[in-house]
């Protein structure tokens, strides 16, 4: 492995080709990650039924909320590393890696303890249906053990992507996806361990991927000046201040969005296991767009960070434009497939008549989720790549707390739309980052903003 300064590619080739070349392994990684996340629901939905599907859906929602620290500080670390690589400061890259590992993994241990203690109150807050409560408890408690591995994988991926390496994260997640699929079928379909078996398969797969990632970094430690000695994991105060300055707003943004989704879903879960199951399936379908959008967002953020670090501002609009076009094409194709073959798509997860009947009313919501993801990711990459921590926080608060919760309550309760109101409120809120990021891009203020490493 070698540090890859993307500026060199941008100088000798087109921005579009450089973006796609860097993003393509990330797309494959996200495809596998999406399949990885869907496997539990598909296997449980087919072999356990709608109650098990509801349990996994609620458990997955809680687990996603609890990764906000990993997502926020890993993204911040990636921005720092990409800007340091662009500036040619390899020593700061090494100090960032050590600081990020120690701080984030310490947070993982603390989160595991706290979440295990408060597992039942969290499920009660989610209005978990009685038929699914015990299964959801088994799923969540087992998955909490895997938080350490999830946090660790996010750190390693951030390090690699910040250095311009998008291929290794794909190989690592591919291993986890295959492991999870095999163990899911073994534990659930063969051993009949139900929802607990699905959770155990997930944790083991996460552990395998994290250990492989660590071994890979250790073997290539000389190439990025990180020797894995105890002293290398010491928290550097200057790096830590920059990491917190950028990462804390990212954490709050992620937490605000995830909490708002949990809040809305708590109302939906009160409608019963069928509503909970359909919403869980719908959320997974919405995540399919992340195969492309998140890959381009991550790649765009890394390229933006390196371009800003090297003073190549004129490249950034091309990065955003290319990302937007690709996202819109993919979302359009996915929307057409969903509209034409809805029963086949929802039936992958569960074929029970009442689940499929409610799923048909979810189709327009799914289309809104697809396009919301498509238009917001290019501008999120600009915000993240330029290290705009306050703007990140504003996006999270407006998207999550104000718009998602506000619109869901307005449509679901005030307008008496019921479950459809909560669905549409969630979908409409996904366009807020596009509006904020679009204004930020058009204003041109990202050109004159001080870099986080300065």
Per-residue pLDDT of the chain (454 residues; tens, 9 = 90+): 444 445 455 444 577 787 888 788 778 777 777 777 788 888 998 899 889 989 998 998 898 888 888 888 998 898 888 888 777 788 888 899 999 999 999 999 999 999 999 999 999 999 999 999 999 999 999 999 999 998 998 898 888 877 777 677 778 878 888 898 899 999 999 999 999 999 999 999 989 989 988 888 888 787 767 888 888 899 999 999 999 988 888 788 788 888 898 899 999 999 999 999 999 899 888 888 877 888 888 788 878 877 887 778 888 899 999 999 999 999 999 999 999 999 999 998 888 899 999 999 999 999 999 999 999 999 988 888 887 877 878 888 888 778 999 999 999 999 999 999 999 999 999 999 999 999 999 998 887 766 655 5
State whether the Cα torsion 9-11-14-15 is positive or negative: positive
Distance CA 54, CA 279 (A): 9
What are the Cα distances from residue 114, in Å, to 70, 109, 274, 340?
A: 16, 9, 30, 45
Distance CA 380, CA 374 (A): 11
Distance CA 127, CA 271 (A): 9
DSSP state of 164: T
Exposure string of 363-399, with b = 16+ CB inside 10 Å and e = fewer, is bebbbbbbbbbbbbbbbbbbbbbbbbbebbbbbbbbb
């Amino acid at each position: 492995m070698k540090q890859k300064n993307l500026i060199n590619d941008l100088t000798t080739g087109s921005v579009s080709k450089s973006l796609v070349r860097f993003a393509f392994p990330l797309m494959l990684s996200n495809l596998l990650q999406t399949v990885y996340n869907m496997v539990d629901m598909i296997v449980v939905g087919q072999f356990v039924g709608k109650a098990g599907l509801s349990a996994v859906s609620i458990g997955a929602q809680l687990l996603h909320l609890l990764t906000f620290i990993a997502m926020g500080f890993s993204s911040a670390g990636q921005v720092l590393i990409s800007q340091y690589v662009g500036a040619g400061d390899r020593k700061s890259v090494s100090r960032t890696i050590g600081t990020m590992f120690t701080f984030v993994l310490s947070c993982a241990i603390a989160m595991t303890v706290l979440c295990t203690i408060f597992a039942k109150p969290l499920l009660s807050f989610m209005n978990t249906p009685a038929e699914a409560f015990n299964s959801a408890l088994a799923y969540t408690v087992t998955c909490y053990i895997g938080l350490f591995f999830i946090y660790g994988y996010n750190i390693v991926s951030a390090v690699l992507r910040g250095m311009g390496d998008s291929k290794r994260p794909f190989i690592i997640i591919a291993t986890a996806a295959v492991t999870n699929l095999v163990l899911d079928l073994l534990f659930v379909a063969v051993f009949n361990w139900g929802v607990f078996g699905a959770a155990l398969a997930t944790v083991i797969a996460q552990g395998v991927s994290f250990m492989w990632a660590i071994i890979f970094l250790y073997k290539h430690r000389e190439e990025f000046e990180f020797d894995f000695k105890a002293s290398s994991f010491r928290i550097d105060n200057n790096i830590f201040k920059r990491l917190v300055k950028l990462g804390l707003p990212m954490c709050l943004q992620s937490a605000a969005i995830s909490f708002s989704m949990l809040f809305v879903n708590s109302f939906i879960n009160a409608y019963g296991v069928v509503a909970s199951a359909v919403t869980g399936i719908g959320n997974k379908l919405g995540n399919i767009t992340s195969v492309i959008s998140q890959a381009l967002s991550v790649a765009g953020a890394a390229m933006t960070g390196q371009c800003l670090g090297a003073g190549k501002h004129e490249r950034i609009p091309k990065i955003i434009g290319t990302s937007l076009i690709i996202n819109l094409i993919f979302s359009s194709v996915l929307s057409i497939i969903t509209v034409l073959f809805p029963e086949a798509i929802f039936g992958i997860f569960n074929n029970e008549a009442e689940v499929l009947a409610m799923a048909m009313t979810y189709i327009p919501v799914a289309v809104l989720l697809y396009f919301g993801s498509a238009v917001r990711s290019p501008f999120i990459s600009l915000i993240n790549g330029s290290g705009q921590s306050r703007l990140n926080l504003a996006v999270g608060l407006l998207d999550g707390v104000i718009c998602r919760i506000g619109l869901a309550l307005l449509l679901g309760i005030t307008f008496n739309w019921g479950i459809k109101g909560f669905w549409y409120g969630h979908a409409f809120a996904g366009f807020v980052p596009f509006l904020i990021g679009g204004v930020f891009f058009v204003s041109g203020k990202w050109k004159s903003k001080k870099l986080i490493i300065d």
